[in-house]
Amino acid sequence: MELKIALGATAVLCEVISAALYLTDIFRGNTKPHLYTNLVWSVVMSIAFAGMIIGGGAAGTWATGASLLLILITLVLSLKWGTTDITRSDKAFLGAALLAIVPWAITKNPLGSVILASAIDACGIAPTIRKTWRAPLSESLAAWIFALLRTGFQIAALAVYTPLTVLYLAEVMVADVLLLTVILYRRSTSERKIP
């Protein structure tokens, strides 16, 4: 149990470092968070966080709570310092995120909502990937590396491994790897074009 607490604390530390790097980059004008990505993530992360707590995730849930706080702060900051190139699909993802609450309310079983929230979260990163593909320096590489580390530590810190506790974190890990891949690939191809 002490190991799980240490892993949970390490996940929170990674989140704090990621948040500090990300917020610093926003204030410096280097990172431009996408408004709708953060709207979608705030809804689905709230659902996932509640599901993980109900599922008994224990120390593995701490960093998700810290991440939720960062997402809410980033959402507010994106109103001034973010990008708002909003498409129809962005609006559809937000609507779907809000609808993800319905299965839980109807069935009183959080798993359906966590599954739906995880799927929507995976789609919710699309505006950020699209933006980062066009402007590879518009996201903080170091912050996303610490976000990936955080998720790995969170999974290791979970007290129980069930779909309710693991599904969302597994999806987040895949999304983080995908975004990091886009950042690294686009930065490397952009650098090759410079004479």
pLDDT digits (tens, 9 = 90+) for 72-119: 999 999 999 988 777 787 788 778 777 777 777 777 778 888 888 888
pLDDT at 193: 57
**∠ CA(117), CA(118), CA(124), 5° rounding?**
85
Lowest-confidence pick of 5-14, 48-57, 153-162: 48-57
Q: Are 127 and 36 in contact (CB under 8 A)?
A: yes
Q: What CA–CA distance (Å, rounded) separates 74 from 19?
A: 9
Mean pLDDT of 130-149: 92
Q: Where are the beta strands (DSSP E) in 27-182?
A: none
Burial of 111 (0-12, 13-18, 19+ CB in 10 A): middle
At 56, list the tokens: 């008994």
**Which residues face 34 on adjacent strands?**
83
At 111, list the tokens: 């798993």
CA dihedral 163, 169, 174, 180 (to 10 degrees): 180
Q: Under 8 Å CB-to-CB from 83, ≥6 apart: which residues?
A: 32, 33, 34, 35, 131, 138
Half-sphere exposure at residue 62, Cβ-oriented, CA atoms within 13 angstroms: 24
Q: What CA–CA distance (Å, rounded) separates 103 from 49?
A: 16
The candidate with the shortest Cα–Cα distance to 95, out of 114, 123, 75, is: 123
Q: What CA–CA distance (Å, rounded) separates 68 from 44?
A: 10
Mean pLDDT of 61-75: 93
